[in-house]
Amino acid sequence: MRRIASIVPVAVALVLAASPAWAAPAPVTKTLTFDVALHPVDGDVHTLPGDVTYGQSRLAGTTTWGRRTAHVEWMCSHISDGGTGPTQDLVTITRSDGAVLALAITGWVSDGTLTGTVDVIGGKGRYRGATGTGTVTGRSGKAHLALTVSQPRPGRAAPRGWGAVGC
| Distance from the first to the final alpha carbon of the chain | 24
| Side-chain-facing half-sphere of 96: CA atoms under 13 Å | 8
Q: How confident is the model at residue 140 (pLDDT cuts 50, 70, 90)?
A: confident
Tell the CATH superfamily of the 28-151 domain. Answer: SO1590-like (2.40.350.10)
pLDDT of 8 above 50: no
pLDDT of residue 154: 66
Q: How confident is the model at residue 2 (pLDDT cuts 50, 70, 90)?
A: low
When the pLDDT of each residue in the chain is averaged and rounded to a whole number, the result is 84
pLDDT of 151 above 80: yes
pLDDT of 49 above 60: yes
pLDDT of residue 13: 44
Relative to beta strand 52-65, strand 68-81 is antiparallel
User: What angle (nearest 5°) sits at the alpha carbon of residue 38, between those of residues 149 and 150?
Assistant: 5
Helix (H, G, I), strand (E, B) or coil at 113: strand
The domain segmentation of the chain, as residue ranges, is 28-151
Write out pLDDT tens, residues 54-109. 999 999 999 999 999 999 999 999 999 988 999 999 999 999 999 999 999 999 99
Name the residue with higher pLDDT: 45 or 6.
45
pLDDT of residue 144: 98
Most confident of 21-25, 50-54, 115-119: 115-119
pLDDT of 126 above 50: yes
